A and B are shown apart, each in its own frame.
Chain A
């Protein structure tokens, strides 16, 4: 842990508001939009309703026209009425699809609210279809339904479904550092992956693998000698099943900002017994560069008050970054789900008395937000324009998933995402 962070450790635990009511959030199907870009020979077939197809279409924007690797098998009246055997229908849809797309090596059957309420067993369907289409295509299943998952939890469910497929890493005694490997978990932009890989190489940490891989054939090995770092905070289930396979999680804050990235890398360095001097000499140029660039944003953002609506589970780490590295003030940090173990290091770094909220009653949360009149409100696209029209400045949160924001080199991009709406608000003041 770095000295800069030590000084900010909260004296008291954060207060948590727990609420139930309307949740203005996406379901886990949305994760497909970025996951399919990441695993380049995988296809995601949602088994659901027209609503599911329409959701994906609305969230994917123009991507839908580029022959993307996702689709929906829409359940129809005749399926529900028992006129057609749904498993036969599904097999037919899968065959049709694989015929059309011979380049596909991995197919995910993605469960939705309708498919789960009618108890269509996609796990069994995946096993059956896998036998039929082996070895050309591996077929897996997971749930992206709104009743089971919120937004980014779709990625968690997808990666967790991949874990049983991972090859077993060579065993060896824990003393032989040769047999150890590091697994970075959570889909990252390729440029970010490459940056991290270079740093780990320079630190002498390796071999390093990433989950998800870029290609279905490159599944990383896992075993008792695997240590893993979570790159995203929403991977509870994936972490659990990795631990079941003997892998060990390296506790760390998430790699956002100069200090978050340093602490995240330090967790691996300390597990690999990298001497402190070597660690510092390796990361210092990047950290200093990042710190210097962030200082300019700090001058602009310090003291600004921010309110987070729940969306992606990125809220706590991002709030920590905004508070500790940019001097912003946290009014309320909403998250759909608060994983206390995975966020332990983050929660310690939050300023004393930070108010967190888990779950949502959107109307009451809007009341609190309006009463607080934050300088910037982080929220989804359904709320952003209406709040702007009320005079609040907003940052729409989905961009935080689509933009590379991890690591040293992206720290200023991350700060920029919050600075831009404020600058715009200021620049347009005269024409309001």
Chain B
């Protein structure tokens, strides 16, 4: 048993959902108790998908356990097939259903559906989300890739791009970026999977000359199988950062057996110049701590050291499957890798190292905030703000531009904040001073320099607050309290009320709330 507050990864069936949701024409029937549907909102809220994930849950309850949960499961599969008419169906169990030991694969096959049924064994008490995604993708590739599929003939070299999934950090934009880059290299993209792929697309994976694994956490198992089955080599360089993108171009060219256009190998990113410009000199030797999934953490470390001139003081991952790779990378910087999924260990190391910048997940963002250290997000898990509306890849040359801005921004902010604190006692920077672009009309006189609590600034000279009304006002959340105070005082003034009571407060609230 392990005491856990924050988990970097979800259970493995959420990994399977990420694959199903990424694809077209696939439906997932999950044997799961009532309540496990919570995972839907990761897709509809965090990723803001406009469709429900293609998942049917059996949602069994206690009263079903005495009866036949197997029948419940078969009914759910049959209904899902009839309603959604998928080209392939995935079946499996979540953690609780794993304990009651119905056999989803066997039960689904007994229905003799005229489509492929892919049974998933995802051991919930040992494995986690990324493993679940990788295993699911591998099972689908095995089941759906047509072994008789012939290699394409004629035209430019062709590759499959593997790994992008639902709920992936910037997967949507990375695909755009890399597809465009491959086109300029002179390589066609056969199938992108799982994101946007249908079972029919998966059937023709064998047509391509080679595979590109963009996200090893999700696609390397499947790529190894394709290597064995279709003799397709794998391009394993992950093109995050300018150097890595150049290496990626070189590797693609070598595997495809083509020459790369000279202008493409030269820099197509603004990062190198921005990083060389004198404005960036202050970045030199900034101590940076990096934590995330292995792929993004390793890539970030290389960019930090070679492209921005930082010193990498910490490197780690929560993904135990790729611990070896992260340890090797850490050795390059003369440090020991941190392999853990316990955020308290990460926090302990960050506070011990006191870096100038933290690059990590949503969790590191909060650790850094608590410790007052600038931070940027480089890896899942992430909140809704890291599924942005704007184009913001991490990969390729545009990805490098995005990364430069994203990482330097909090440092500039940190510097500004530091200056503001340093000069806090100067009248221009005091909390009372109006922003400079508003002119000097509101500039504070030296008399107001004493630290004043902002809320206590008198707003009205006609109304007094009764003590109980003042207490009541304090129950209003701080971010609307100022508005409540102003509205109430305006209300009282307009009516010539001299003493604001609790009643006045609520009269005003009723008056203004519509």
Contacts and interface: CB of A to CB of B under 8 A. Distances in A.
A412 B9 CA distance: 41
Nearest to B369: A65
A416 B38 CA distance: 26
A412 B514 contact: yes
Interface residues of A, number: 80
A146 B34 contact: yes
B475 A191 contact: yes
Interface in B359-382: 363, 366, 370
Given A293-B513, A412-B514, A363 B83 contact: yes
A113 B3 contact: no
Interface stretch (B93-101, B102-110, B431-439): B93-101
Contacts of A286: 506
A413 B512 CA distance: 11
A285 B503 contact: yes
A55 B38 CA distance: 7
Contacts of B49: 385-386
B266 interface: no
A252 B44 CA distance: 38
B99 to A, nearest CB: 5
B10 to A, nearest CB: 5
Interface string B33-48: 1111111111011001
B96 A74 contact: no
Among B83, B99, B511, chain A packs the most CB atoms within 10 A around the CB of B99
B450 interface: no
A213 interface: no
A388 B472 CA distance: 38
A72 interface: yes
A23 B56 CA distance: 10
Nearest to B38: A55
B62 A148 contact: yes
A24 B40 CA distance: 9
Nearest to A47: B1
A277 interface: no
B7 A114 contact: no
A409 B95 contact: no
Contacts of A385: 44-45, 48-50
Nearest to B29: A22
Chain A CB within 10 Å, residue with most, of B48, B56, B513: B513
B124 interface: yes
B76 A380 contact: no
A93 B514 contact: no
Contacts of A23: 34, 37, 59
Interface stretch (A56-64, A127-135, A323-331): A56-64
A308 interface: no
Contacts of A65: 6, 363, 366, 370
A409 B504 CA distance: 12
Contacts of A372: none
B510 A92 contact: no
A169 interface: no
A397 to B, nearest CB: 12
B429 interface: no
B318 to A, nearest CB: 13
Interface in A116-162: 116-118, 145-148, 150
Interface in B470-514: 472, 475-476, 502-503, 506-507, 509-511, 513-514
B507 A64 contact: no
B5 A51 contact: no
Nearest to B76: A22
A68 B4 CA distance: 12
B467 to A, nearest CB: 14
Contacts of B41: 58, 380-382
A365 to B, nearest CB: 13
A287 to B, nearest CB: 11
A286 B59 CA distance: 44
Contact of B7 (A57, A90, A285): A57
A117 B94 CA distance: 13
A27 B511 CA distance: 39
A293 B38 contact: no
Given A86-B1, A381-B45, A385-B49, A409 B79 contact: no
A381 B502 CA distance: 36
Given A74-B2, A389-B50, A54 B37 contact: no
Contacts of A363: 79, 83
A117 B96 contact: yes
B228 interface: no
B11 interface: yes
A76 B35 contact: no
Contact of A51 (B36, B51, B61, B511): B36
A54 B14 contact: yes
B34 A27 contact: yes
Contact of B61 (A55, A61, A92, A146): A146
Contact of B124 (A26, A49, A388): A49
B506 A57 contact: no
Contacts of B510: 289-290, 292-293, 409, 412
Contacts of B57: 22
Contact of B52 (A62, A147, A386, A413): A386
Q: Which of A24, A28, A90 has the most CB of B within 10 A?
A: A24
A28 B50 CA distance: 27
B33 A113 contact: yes
A413 B36 CA distance: 31
B14 A297 contact: no
A289 B94 contact: no
B341 to A, nearest CB: 10
B494 to A, nearest CB: 16
Nearest to B45: A381
A147 B34 contact: yes
A77 B472 CA distance: 51
A50 B61 contact: no
Given A50-B128, A293-B513, A84 B1 contact: yes
Contact of A53 (B7, B56, B60, B472): B7
A73 interface: yes
Which of A28, A114, A116, A408 counts the most chain B CB atoms within 10 A? Answer: A114
Interface of B: 1-7, 9-11, 13-14, 33-42, 44-45, 48-52, 56-62, 64-65, 76, 79, 83, 94-96, 99-100, 123-126, 128, 363, 366, 370, 383, 472, 475-476, 502-503, 506-507, 509-511, 513-514
Top 5 A-B pairs ranked by shortest CB distance? A27-B35, A146-B35, A382-B40, A389-B50, A89-B1
Interface of A: 21-30, 47, 49-51, 53-55, 57-59, 61-62, 64-65, 68, 70-77, 79-80, 84, 86, 89-90, 92-93, 96-97, 113-114, 116-118, 145-148, 150, 190-191, 194, 198, 285-286, 289-290, 292-293, 296-297, 363, 380-386, 388-389, 408-409, 412-413, 416
Given A47-B1, A148-B61, 8 more contacts: A21-B79, A25-B37, A50-B95, A55-B35, A62-B366, A65-B366, A191-B472, A297-B514
5 contacts: A76-B125, A289-B507, A382-B37, A382-B41, A385-B50
